[in-house]
Amino acid sequence: ILWRRRGILVLGSSQGQFPLTQNVTVVEGGTAILTCRVDQNDNTSLQWSNPAQQTLYFDDKKALRDNRIELVRASWHELSISVSDVSLSDEGQYTCSLFTMPVKTSKAYLTVLGVPEKPQISGFSSPVMEGDLMQLTCKTSGSKPAADIRWFKNDKEIKDVKYLKEEDANRKTFTVSSTLDFRVDRSDDGVAVICRVDHESLNATPQVAMQVLEIHYTPSVKIIPSTPFPQEGQPLILTCESKGKPLPEPVLWTKDGGELPDPDRMVVSGRELNILFLNKTDNGTYRCEATNTIGQSSAEYVLIVHDVPNTLLPTTIIPSLTTATVTTTVAITTSPTTSATTSSIRDPNALAGQNGPDHALIGGIVAVVVFVTLCSIFLLGRYLARHKGTYLTNEAKGAEDAPDADTAIINAEGSQVNAEEKKEYFI
């Protein structure tokens, strides 16, 4: 039968006329309860004695002066006592005696668990260079029985470890150590290595020690362009992404093994190279170099500047009666995205009048308009030419042959008489 009072494990049973007991296990520093039961008892005394055969309690009377030992329950059928602040020296076989003729006894073994100390990790020196072999040792003492040590890295258990168990000077507890060997790389930087101690005295709450790794390594470099298809006239930004520990110094940009040829158009800002208005002379190999105290690394990017794609529409000639020819050319920049509704190819000879304007009809109308305009200009010119002349008025006709002004006036007055007789017609 199993009892639990105030977190203390109590084991006991009763059967027949014999005293019955159960073994007890307790953690060092805890409290153990020893129970002896008898189902049928004719006023016979019960007694508890320790491994040294010293009487602890006889019925309800305390026999040994030990403040840690107290009476829990005393009756004709049960005698229970408690031992507080249990130490490793309390471990052993305790005896319950029923004073019949002959005396009947029952044994109960008290096991005391030694709690392991908090583990410690040794062997780590910061920082560690990439590629070095690291050896970490986790150690704990005072466990009874010997504790178990397990290693974890990034919450993943590492199985290939060394384990060593040594008995302590008291010859009751153990010191346990475990050694972990592994070669570090840059992925181990910032990783937590955990040593975990498991023991039955810890009530499923293991003790742990943790060591965060610091790994130094050379930079890794990568160049990222702002566009995958650089075109002439457009800007381009090249980003040099560098990682390393310690953090790399400012990066160095070069082109074709030398300095940047056009610093006014090729601007370096931090880790970025900004090229304004690309042209064909910018073609070449660009190199980004990053350096820290461990070493240096670089990456290259081959720049090829592409032409801006364009499409010319066919030339349209407008017929005219004049010698002038009007030519229209339209340049359209193509877009990489083509609508699905215009992607189909049409036959230029099929249904031309339905799918687009009739160029012949438009040309004919323009020709007629030009012809009518030219005819109108021609007729207006002839009309003006016929009315423009040197015809004389009646007054002028009488005065054109006069030697002086007075004679002209006289001739003019004479001419007025016959003015009605002279008429000039224009056709």
163-190 per-position pLDDT tens digit: 999 999 999 999 999 999 999 999 999 9
Distances (CA, A) of 156 to 3, 151, 159, 215, 368: 39, 8, 10, 19, 91
pLDDT of residue 391: 42
3-state secondary structure of 29: coil
Domain CATH number, residue 265: 2.60.40.10
Q: What is the chain's length? A: 427
**Higher per-residue pLDDT: 49 or 352:** 49
Across the range 337-352, mean pLDDT stands at 35
pLDDT of residue 204: 79
Residue 100 belongs to some domain of the structure = yes
201 and 137 within one domain: yes
Residue 345 belongs to some domain of the structure = no
- CB within 8 A of 122, min separation 6: which ones? 136, 137, 139
242 and 287 within one domain: yes
For 54, phi and psi rounded to 5 degrees?
-90, 135
132-158 per-position pLDDT tens digit: 999 999 999 999 999 999 999 988 999
Distances (CA, A) of 254 to 13, 199, 260, 269: 88, 61, 6, 14
Q: Are 119 and 149 in contact (CB under 8 A)?
A: yes
- CB within 8 A of 387, min separation 6: which ones? 426
**Higher per-residue pLDDT: 326 or 409:** 409
Residue 309 belongs to some domain of the structure = no
Distances (CA, A) of 411 to 391, 393, 400, 417, 419: 18, 13, 9, 10, 12
pLDDT of residue 385: 77
pLDDT of residue 163: 95
Residue 82 belongs to some domain of the structure = yes
12-46 per-position pLDDT tens digit: 333 447 899 999 999 999 999 999 999 887 788 99
Instruction: Report the candidate in 193, 190, 185 with the shortest Cα–Cα distance to residue 123.
Output: 193
Distances (CA, A) of 235 to 32, 266, 285: 82, 10, 17
- HEC string of 62-76 equals ECCCCCCEEEEEECC
**What token pair was written down for 359?**
């160029």
161 and 207 within one domain: yes
Segment holding 286, helix H or strand E: strand 284-291
Tally of domains in the chain: 3
208 and 128 within one domain: yes
pLDDT of residue 203: 84
**What token pair was written down for 64?**
């040994």
Query: Does pLDDT of 313 surpass 80?
Result: no
Distance CA 45, CA 326 (A): 136
Least confident segment among 179-188, 395-404, 417-426: 417-426
108 and 29 within one domain: yes
Place of tokens 């410690």: 120
Residue 353 belongs to some domain of the structure = no
Domain containing 227 equals 218-303
Residue 364 belongs to some domain of the structure = no
pLDDT of residue 41: 78
